[in-house]
Amino acid sequence: MNYPNGQRKTMPVRIKQDKNTFSNRGMSLEEDINITNQFYLDTGRAVIHKKPTPVQIVNVNYPKRSAAVITEAYFKQASTTDYNGIYRGKYIDFEAKETKNKTLFPLANIHDHQIEHMKSIISQGGICFIIIRFAAYDEAYFLEAEKLFLFWDDKLNNGKKSISYEKIQNESYLIPFHFQMRINYLSIIDKLYF
């Protein structure tokens, strides 16, 4: 294309994408869940928020008053799970993990204190689960905490230290992707608990 000032401008080439795929959305699992939770909040469906990580700030550098930089900080305590809130009168608590591994989900991504926290939620009648995204396939799965405990106990008894992709597919629920509800995990909760 030629402009009146004589400059030449080339037009970008557009690549046609398959309408049936949602790959390369450029969003992390956490970002997708935060967008979903905001939609749930805006539409009055649920109140679910990301838990802040408790941090103790030790040292701050003040090169300018408006440009403070934290130079040293420590975690106050081990965090529990990533998200909690309420849906249809039930307490919801869950962890979100993403893996680039194509064949398995390493249980090393979960910690003892998180399992203990999840067990205490279940014992009090809350709904607890983990969302696992396989980035290579752009698929997110809903795994109930009770099923996670079985894999965890197996690991503690010198069993497998991971959950295979096939087991995740068989033991979990594929979470549907929607534009406004990117990780629509409430649709799974509705099926399982209500």
Contacts of 82 (CB under 8 A, 6+ apart): 30, 33, 50, 51, 94, 95, 96
Looking at per-residue confidence, does 98 or 27 come out higher?
Answer: 98
Longest dimension (CA), the chain: 75
Residue 131 located in a structural domain: yes
User: 3-state class of 28 per DSSP?
Assistant: coil
Quote the strand ranges of 90-144, DSSP E.
90-99, 104-106, 127-134, 139-144
Whether 11 has a pLDDT exceeding 50, the answer reads no
Q: Give the mean pLDDT of the chain.
A: 86
Q: Are 22 and 11 in contact (CB under 8 A)?
A: no
Residue 64 located in a structural domain: no
pLDDT band for position 83 (cuts 50, 70, 90): very high
| DSSP secondary structure letter of residue 109 | G
Q: Report the CATH number at residue 103.
A: 3.40.1350.10
Please report the pLDDT score of residue 77 as a whole number: 62
Helix (H) or strand (E) segment spanning residue 165: helix 165-171
Compute how many other C-beta atoms are within 10 angstroms of the C-beta atom of residue 41: 14
pLDDT in tens, 127-167: 999 999 999 999 999 999 999 999 999 999 999 999 999 99
Our count of domains for the chain comes to 1
Residue 4 located in a structural domain: no
Residue 17 located in a structural domain: no
Domain containing 97 equals 29-51+78-193
Residue 19 located in a structural domain: no
Please state the residue numbers annotated as binding site.
Answer: 80, 82, 95, 114
Residue 57 located in a structural domain: no
Please report the pLDDT score of residue 21 as a whole number: 39
Please state the residue numbers annotated as binding site for Mg(2+).
Answer: 80, 82, 95, 114
